[in-house]
Amino acid sequence: MSQVYEASRYQPPSALDGVQTKALIVGVVAAAISIAGFFLDRTQFFQSYLVGWIFWFVIALGCLGWTMIQHLTGGLWALVLRRVLEAAARTLPFFGLLFLPFVFGMEEVWSWTRPEAANDPLIQEKVGYLNQPFFWGRFAFYFVFWTVLAFLLSRNSAKQDEGDEKVTVRMRMISGPGIVLFVLIGSFASFDWLMSLEPHWFSSLFGFYFISSTALAAMLFMIVCAWWLHRQQPLDDVLTKRHFHDYGKFTLALVMFWAYMTLSQFLITWSGHIPEFTQWYDARNTGGWKSYTVPLIVLHFFVPFLILLSASLKKQPSKLVLVALYMLVMRFFDLYWQAAPNWHETLTFHWLDVTTLVAVGGLWLFVFVRELKRRALLPVGDPYLKEVLGHV
């Protein structure tokens, strides 16, 4: 009986209804504008759409990864946001559906799918991997794996709330091999969707670079959600400065790790001095892209790094959330830097870059909030929850 009482105490606030409605309206309007853009410039639409899709997708994917890390480590900092992580992970099939328009636009995005690729000897060397049937077969495998993993963890978490004590160990056993496969499969997905935009280029570190970006994006999203929930009942007394301090420290560590992977990839690629590899960086230092690259390094690493060194700032939710929002914007610009030079020799932006980003984000936030409203905001059956509430 106490279990039911605890679950009823931590039901999602009614304010989420307003967030859901606004997200849907914004998403639908932006989607309508983007569809109009499709008829005006088909190629630009698909290129912009890929960047917008990946930006939001990596947040949901990263939340699945953090869910498994929470089960493996028992971290109390993530326990209070497990329902947020699970809700985001359950939206991964939605991203699978949103990817399907690329069935009709692969040639607009990936050069190796175009007829002239048959005359490129380097691409032909990779044709066993870079071919459309295998591409879509891998796509299906990726999303089946992520969906099943998210479903198993979410279902067992619900059973835990019902008083099944065995599932605590079961979720840990799923998460162990799950996180290993998560990193491996996520790496291959990054090869398919981002690295193959320049089919001549290859980096052995790109998968780890992508996974570190995914973890960072999800952590930033967690901070935004924690800030919003911190201002609402029933979690206004549960999410404390101690939790935000932990989120800030993780963000600082992830910024440093992301920068390390970025620099390592550059040094290894550049020192090899193989034209097919170094041309990826050459493209980002010509045609105006150099004026984009240098500020991106400063704004995406040095600025947040210096800000997050402050211990007092990390304990202030209202300030930490501003840093998180700023860094999410930088995440978009970094993703654009990875993708756009493969399509445009000169630095350029298009209004579809904004509308497709807002469209995918609005529709996804609608689905995310719907999933978040389905359960209590805290995993009331978790044996460590008493320790969390004991610090309140």
pLDDT in single tens digits along all 392 residues of the chain:
344 446 778 999 999 999 999 999 999 999 999 999 999 999 999 999 999 999 999 999 999 999 999 999 998 999 999 999 999 999 999 999 999 999 999 999 999 999 999 999 999 999 999 999 999 999 999 999 999 999 999 999 999 988 888 999 999 999 999 999 999 999 999 999 999 999 998 888 999 999 999 999 999 999 999 999 999 999 998 999 999 999 999 999 999 999 999 999 888 887 777 777 788 898 998 888 999 999 999 999 999 999 999 999 999 999 999 999 999 999 999 999 999 999 999 999 999 999 999 999 999 999 999 999 999 999 999 988 888 876 55
Nearest CA among 42, 130, 77 for reference residue 352: 42
Q: Is 288 left (phi over 0), alpha (psi -120 to 50) or beta?
A: left
Q: Which one, of 332, 81, 11, lies nearest residue 227 by Cα?
A: 81
Residues 291, 58, 260, 207: what is their CA dihedral angle, to the nearest 10 degrees? -110
Residues 117 and 132: their CA atoms lie apart, in Å, by 13
What are 77's two structure tokens? Answer: 């900092």
Going from the C-alpha of 204 to that of each of 30, 201, 268, 348, 356, the distances in angstroms are 37, 10, 9, 29, 30
Q: What pTM was computed for the model? A: 0.95
DSSP per residue, 151-201: HHHHHHHHHHHTT-TTHHHHHHHHHHHHHHHHHHHHHHHHHHHTGGGSTT-
Contact 280, 269 (CB under 8 A): yes
Helix, strand, coil share (%) of the chain residues, nearest 5: 80, 0, 20
Q: Crossing angle, helix 206-230 and helix 241-272, to 10 degrees?
A: 160
Distances (CA, A) of 283 to 27, 39, 337, 348: 33, 29, 10, 13
